[in-house]
Structure 1
């Protein structure tokens, strides 16, 4: 779903604290997060993830969304290890296939004291769609948008607010997944008196009505969350203060947990590092169910990428078992479909069409299409967003494509922030991306990838696919919908707008005595910070959460 990080050393932490001495809370937070002196009620999380934007209108990535789930409320939410929406800020129900009504809970307030009303909900949805940030997730609000890429906005009459507590969504097409969309960070409710309507709010200024407030923010380094004293909801904070440090590399993150600098390490440690930490008797390696998806996308905007024979030949060659074994020590499962196992309608369409890896069959495909070999191809990968083993996967794919002389591969790596822009600008013929579900529904692995070039803007266009997507979203009969979803996977294997690589699990490492981690490791990949609690230092005097205004 951005990153340019570095390990905060003791020296750099001191320098950081000195440079921000005007804000005592920042100084205290930076020192506490490093010095290994957590007080009772404090939690230290280490990660390699960073934040693209704290503003819900400006992000569609892992690091950002998991901050937003703690700072903002959504109308509905998915409970741990569940897959159906439950009430959060509101009770919502579908009145008919194109109408959803939500009743807000009474007395909700933002952390600044402002009331949360239906007007704020309308404002939140409208600004997200209109800002249409290239790194944002407004694409998930397609059911209420006008569909105009040049002048994005809500469709006429898309949202009604008959009173302060009622929001009625009028969808532009039947959408059986819309209640689940209302659980995502995309639909986070922001204060219309604080957030600008036409641009993102500065990261360190965001406020919400969720279980935590943003106390301190140092981009790519340190985030401090403090329990929201005015929060009224079901996500009661287990910890008063949470320090979240981005360590930049998995090696630095591993060192941090070994040296007792963090209580929990989550996202992303390599398979080898997890194996090593498994023998450490001071920590637990905790594995939960997951639905992580890694895949290679073809850019139809390039001459090579738009050639179906080239795409099919590469799909015929790729050996997923070797990628799993050689790049990930066998810790991931080969993926033969755009939809992971466990979702309704899933079928291994790529295995059915291409069978075992077969360079001879790939050569036949190219020869019959009159494609001269070797095909020169630029393959893009990112070194700092998907973990340290991405380079191993990229190099393994290069070996496979070049082994029989059918392809001549040039590998190109770029930092994540640039990478997100470059792959949309035809810099690569083929490029790697990862996906973690926004909602637990097969459509979340279909519509965002296949409709009109997908979120990654690869220029793939298929009227057949668009029609099938509309059909499955509108279909209420489970068996009939599963059949349509199966058809979509078959078309994907035929057209090859992307090549599925593997599926993975949700893993964290925690100090002995930390609670709540196992419960939140589920296929949503929402790390529910409000559930997690460190054992704390009983001898330390519990302190109040620091305030950035002090």
Structure 2
């Protein structure tokens, strides 16, 4: 099957008080009311944190989910779909290295400025030039001139704008996933008259996109207020006139507020205990297909992680079933590959290489390499960013490793934004990260992770892996591509630059009268405000 068949077809700053006498809903794990033609305003509660409102400054789903409401992309993935469809433009591959996009006529930003092909090129160019270490410019590698890695720029001729409504991409290599990249918040279209070329717009400044909603007010860590964009001309018009997002420090407060009706939706992240408690209290808990991935990254720049035998020995003794049972009450699925189940070419390579946990095998690995034991390891994990069970997982892993007698493990936590800086400065030997796919393709669990240190800059580089990644990106035969993806997973399991831990579902708790929530709980983890209604 040729992948080239991918051508496109086709305000107040506080919510009103909640009623204290609302009747609880019955438990519902699989359905949700359909969206309606009209809606009251509603409130989403989340423990997600925001790195930056500006699309050039963030690579996390808390930030991205704000940006998806505010900014258009050329194409977007529909709920429960996997292939991009037209958004601000209709796009198609001319060949594996060329994409042509035709912008819709009459697009404007919320401030009234016209949206043209020049804005599209500018948006991508500034994202690359700013190159924020917490940003996602790495996804734009196929249009980057990386001859100077310290100061990447848009490659000459990579993006052409022959007229105001046409954008042509000339990729530096065959890349049949780039159209999906253009559906992510990385490719958010910003107004070149508003956003500086070489620095990010502050969160407190006025942001103007062409998406279905406008960010009317924002207070970091407290609340975001969205209002309908009256100038929106895209395919996803919002229904609710106003949407609030309330940010919580912990899931206990989040669960408490959804139960008493202070918020309408609780999403990301409720612990297994809180999910069950809400269900027991009659709150509807909806479960959608998910592709959440939790993993641990080795620092291979310095310290214990530079020794392959140490990395392999940890992989040899890690008991994922116990992580799931003891840290997550069995609500997550043990992961044995960096590519989750359901994606083309996925295979459980870590199980194939290491089998069940085996202390004797780990001991032999260390002895054969002449590694003295116990090996001192510092495990890092972010406080709150991945929910309250992150500490349970870190504690479980530390106890498992210490119980072997082969390791002397300590744990350390940090606030999310500082944590991102610290792990890139070699603060931990092994550190926790989570992944929600930028787009639904196996490569999104490969290129950002294993090509020359990945987005987390952990020092890993394998020429064979780099070559194979280029091959799978260019391969148009599905079976052949799946074979290459399998080879990459096998090599990663041998090299162990990171260790997969578990995969999880997409879960939300909802209050009375909410519609459309179930439909947006899909593997993309895009929470589509424009689909949600409250009656």
Q: After TM superposition, is the score higher than 0.5?
A: yes
Contact 1:379–1:412 (CA<8 Å) still a contact in 2?
Answer: yes
Question: Could you list the runs of 4 or more consecutive aligned residues of structure 1 that deviate by over 4 angstroms after TM superposition?
Answer: 33-40
Aligned counterparts of 1:527 and 1:155: Cα–Cα separation in 2: 33
**2:67 aligns to what?**
68
**1:349 aligns to what?**
349
1:192 is aligned to 2:192: yes
Aligned counterparts of 2:503 and 2:514: Cα–Cα separation in 1: 27
Aligned counterparts of 1:472 and 1:75: Cα–Cα separation in 2: 24
Aligned counterparts of 1:345 and 1:334: Cα–Cα separation in 2: 18
**2:440 aligns to what?**
440
**1:55 aligns to what?**
54
Aligned counterparts of 1:178 and 1:488: Cα–Cα separation in 2: 20
Structure 1 segment 116-127 matched on structure 2, within 5 A = 116-127=115-126
For residue 50 of structure 1, report the CA deviation from its aligned partner: 2.1
Provide the secondary structure at the position in 2 that maps to 1:362.
Answer: helix
Aligned counterparts of 1:513 and 1:31: Cα–Cα separation in 2: 16
Q: How many residues align?
A: 508
1:313 is aligned to 2:309: no
For residue 404 of structure 1, report the CA deviation from its aligned partner: 1.9
**2:129 aligns to what?**
130
For residue 280 of structure 1, report the CA deviation from its aligned partner: 2.3
Contact 2:19–2:261 (CA<8 Å) still a contact in 1?
Answer: no
Provide the secondary structure at the position in 2 that maps to 1:338.
Answer: coil
For residue 236 of structure 1, report the CA deviation from its aligned partner: 1.5
For residue 309 of structure 1, report the CA deviation from its aligned partner: 0.2
CA 1:180 to 1:36, structure 2 compared with 1: closer, same or farther past 3 Å? farther
**2:16 aligns to what?**
32
1:222 is aligned to 2:206: no
**2:392 aligns to what?**
392
Structure 1 segment 132-151 matched on structure 2, within 5 A = 132-147=131-146, 148-151=148-151
Structure 1 segment 317-466 matched on structure 2, within 5 A = 317-466=317-466
**1:290 aligns to what?**
290
Contact 1:506–1:521 (CA<8 Å) still a contact in 2?
Answer: yes
User: Residue deviations 1:91-150, cap 9 Å, x none?
Assistant: 000001100000000000001101100000010010000000111000000000001322
For residue 513 of structure 1, report the CA deviation from its aligned partner: 2.0
Aligned counterparts of 2:130 and 2:17: Cα–Cα separation in 1: 35
Aligned counterparts of 1:219 and 1:529: Cα–Cα separation in 2: 19
CA 1:498 to 1:33, structure 2 compared with 1: closer, same or farther past 3 Å? farther
TM-score normalised to structure 1 length? 0.91
User: Residue deviations 1:352-395, cap 9 Å, x none?
Assistant: 00000001110010011111100011111112100100111001
**2:275 aligns to what?**
274
**2:209 aligns to what?**
208
Provide the secondary structure at the position in 2 that maps to 1:213.
Answer: strand
TM-score normalised to structure 2 length? 0.93
For residue 40 of structure 1, report the CA deviation from its aligned partner: 6.0
Where do 5+ consecutive residues of structure 2 fail to align? 1-10, 23-37
Contact 1:324–1:332 (CA<8 Å) still a contact in 2?
Answer: yes
Aligned counterparts of 1:222 and 1:337: Cα–Cα separation in 2: 37
CA 1:493 to 1:40, structure 2 compared with 1: closer, same or farther past 3 Å? closer
**1:541 aligns to what?**
none
Deviates more, 1:340-349 or 1:408-417: 408-417
User: Residue deviations 1:49-70, cap 9 Å, x none?
Assistant: 1211111101101111001000
Contact 2:452–2:460 (CA<8 Å) still a contact in 1?
Answer: yes
**1:6 aligns to what?**
none
Provide the secondary structure at the position in 2 that maps to 1:206.
Answer: coil
Provide the secondary structure at the position in 1 that maps to 2:469.
Answer: helix
CA 1:324 to 1:450, structure 2 compared with 1: closer, same or farther past 3 Å? same
Aligned counterparts of 1:31 and 1:179: Cα–Cα separation in 2: 38
For residue 35 of structure 1, report the CA deviation from its aligned partner: 8.4
Aligned counterparts of 1:124 and 1:415: Cα–Cα separation in 2: 29
Structure 1 segment 224-243 matched on structure 2, within 5 A = 224-243=225-244
Contact 2:300–2:458 (CA<8 Å) still a contact in 1?
Answer: yes
Q: For the aligned residues, what is the CA RMSD?
A: 1.4
User: Residue deviations 1:383-417, cap 9 Å, x none?
Assistant: 21001001110011011111120000011111111
Provide the secondary structure at the position in 2 that maps to 1:370.
Answer: coil
Contact 1:33–1:243 (CA<8 Å) still a contact in 2?
Answer: no
